[in-house]
Amino acid sequence: MDRLNGKVAVITGGAGGIGRAAGALFAAEGASVLLVDLDETALKDAVRSIGSNRVSYLVGDVTRAADNEAMFACAAERYGGVDIFLANAGVEGDVKPISEYDEARFDQVIAVNVKGVFLGLKSAFGALKARGGGSIVITSSVAGVKGAAGVAPYVTSKHAVIGMMRSAALEGAPHNIRVNTVNPSPVETRMMRSLEAGFSPDDAEAARARMAASIPLQRYGTPDEIARVMLFLASDDAAWVTGSVYMADGGNTT
């Protein structure tokens, strides 16, 4: 239980299901963890539920360059530096056809899911270089490798961060900075409750059943199952892994 012993991790989207699970797992494996999100109440609850004195939080907006700089400065001040960056913050947007999609909503999805990752990478590179390298894990999705009707902005954003990851992996390699994506299929989180309601407003449970049935393992994943893939990529066990797309999808893209 010490695969991240002495490491420091910054996790955006830290109050959400996957971010919270990753924070708990990383702390259990020996890391000091800074959870970053917009909702302070949810962040406090996440820290309290994890129950480790190695976990703290910072309120921040990933779409703002200053907030990205602040999260790495905060981690350095509290814990001495940063070794791991989990770029996990994301929004799902609406479920609507392209012809009806609101432009401002499109801009929000791209701002959080793409620009937020870009700004995080900009700040992370300097912090990880100062430590002699490290690991960056970006949360993409099965929507990053295939299409889905009704959620074009989300699909676009998750494709985009895979391309960004590949460029960042090449730029990071000379500095011993590894960059990879984890691509979940449906996971038991708030985001999926929102999407289920969007796909089937009159019967969200029916949408859930259809999506679960489309997965070869016949169920949604759990946040902890995704966090364990992230743990591998964050740890020295993945020292020879960079530029990779890791599907954590129950066989959904097989």
1 pLDDT tier (thresholds 50, 70, 90): confident
Catalytic entry in 101, 154, 220, 246:
154
Share of the chain above pLDDT 90, in %: 90
d(CA 169, CA 171): 5
d(CA 128, CA 125): 5
Lowest mean pLDDT among 7-11, 32-36, 125-129, 204-208: 204-208
- Is there a catalytic annotation at residue 154? yes
Tokens of 140: 């993409």
Q: Is residue 144 within 8 Å of residue 162, measured between CB atoms?
A: yes
What separation in angstroms does the CA of 21 have from each of 18, 84, 154, 213?
A: 5, 15, 22, 25
Structural domain includes residue 124: yes
Q: Are residues 89 and 196 in the same domain?
A: no
Q: Where are the alpha helices (DSSP H) in the chain?
A: 17-28, 40-50, 65-79, 103-110, 116-130, 152-172, 190-199, 204-213, 223-234
The boundaries of the domain holding residue 204 are: 187-220
Q: Are residues 58 and 163 in the same domain?
A: yes
Neighbouring C-beta atoms of residue 146, cutoff 10 Å: 12
Q: Are residues 175 and 200 in the same domain?
A: no
Q: Are residues 197 and 231 in the same domain?
A: no
Write down the pLDDT at residue 199. 86
Q: pTM for the full model? A: 0.95
Is pLDDT at 153 greater than 80 in this prediction?
A: yes
Q: Are residues 108 and 61 in the same domain?
A: yes
